[in-house]
Structure 1
Amino acid sequence: MNPHDDFHELDRQECLRLLQRAPIGRIVHTRHALPAVLPVNFCLDNDSAVLLHTSADSELAAAVDGVVVAFEADEVDVTTHSGWSVVVTGCATVVTDPAEHARLSLSVPRPWVAVREEVFIRIESELVTGRQLIGGRTLYGADLSS
């Protein structure tokens, strides 16, 4: 038995469907020429763009506006050794249009910390990839689920 049979790649639509049910993700960007990863709450806009809600004066808003970033969310069940991971890669921009800002204020989750002036960051889903591990694992015929 091939030990990788339980892994399979997800298509774009399945990745986006799974993202819709994840409450927390991680944005990956560059900070001082090194990778930085921050956990964030998020939602999808128009079923494809990732939207974040943060402080206008945050380091994150300044660091990602106009640059390519990665966003990752996952779900793992350690009991059944199953789960999925989805990565969205694309250009991040701070939403500056007042009408768009007003629309997003009604639907995007609130930041977990209080902010004085809020901004929305949109990550376009230029590349969407994902993998899923289904139902436990075996290695060369041995059951490793316990």
Structure 2
Amino acid sequence: MTTADTRRMVEVPGPEALWLLEGATQGRVVYLQRDSAVVRPATHVLEYGRLIVRVPAQTTALLGRAMLTYHADEIRTATGTGWTVSASGPAEVITDPDEAAHYRRTLRGWAHGPHDTLVRIRPQTVAGYRLAHAEAP
């Protein structure tokens, strides 16, 4: 039987954390707006070391942001195992119509119209953890 006392978080190096992130398709974008944290569900793809994220947020809310954080995880609640990864870095809204059309075909979205924004994040800080069980003594 698994209890909270047997669970632990094991830090993974940046390349492994990016590998975990690459295997996922959904996560959350986190940013500050009027001194409050805003969290939006998103889909992503990792290409050439960049995260391409489709997020249901107004473009104006994301324009001009120096940094964005993207978080994804896979947690199996029945066993208390899985992983969690956060990546932060400079971000830019994708405005090129051809590139945007490509990613809109590639990434599923939750909203369309003004609340459908594509963002490119260049991860500079990546933190990842595997959720595991402590070894038996």
How far did 1:66 drift? 3.0
Match status 1:45 vs 2:47: yes
Q: Cα deviations across residues 17-40 of structure 1 (Å, max 9, x unaligned)?
A: 111222321111011221111111
The TM-score with structure 2 as length reference comes to 0.78
Structure-2 change in CA distance of 1:98 and 1:89 (3 Å): same
Alignment equivalent of 2:21, drawn from 19, 24, 35:
19
Q: Is the 8 A contact 2:7 2:134 kept in 1?
A: no
How far did 1:98 drift? 4.3
Find the aligned partners of 1:85 and 1:103 in 2 and give their Cα distance. 28
Find the aligned partners of 1:73 and 1:80 in 2 and give their Cα distance. 18
Find the aligned partners of 1:62 and 1:4 in 2 and give their Cα distance. 45
Find the aligned partners of 1:26 and 1:116 in 2 and give their Cα distance. 19
Find the aligned partners of 1:99 and 1:132 in 2 and give their Cα distance. 37
Q: Cα deviations across residues 28-53 of structure 1 (Å, max 9, x unaligned)?
A: 1011221111111221122x222122
Structure-2 change in CA distance of 1:118 and 1:84 (3 Å): closer
Q: Is the 8 A contact 2:29 2:41 kept in 1?
A: yes
Q: Is the 8 A contact 1:81 1:137 kept in 2?
A: no
Q: Which has the higher helix share?
A: 2
Please tell me the residue identity of whatever aligns with 2:12: L
Runs of at least 5 residues in structure 1 that lack an aligned partner in the other structure: 142-146
Please tell me the residue identity of whatever aligns with 1:82: T
Find the aligned partners of 1:102 and 1:91 in 2 and give their Cα distance. 22
Find the aligned partners of 2:60 and 2:21 in 1 and give their Cα distance. 25
Number of matched pairs: 132
Alignment equivalent of 1:63, drawn from 61, 64, 76:
61
Runs of at least 5 residues in structure 2 that lack an aligned partner in the other structure: none
Find the aligned partners of 1:49 and 1:99 in 2 and give their Cα distance. 18
Find the aligned partners of 2:112 and 2:82 in 1 and give their Cα distance. 32
Find the aligned partners of 1:103 and 1:44 in 2 and give their Cα distance. 14
Q: Cα deviations across residues 103-141 of structure 1 (Å, max 9, x unaligned)?
A: 5455x313123337964211111111111122x357x97
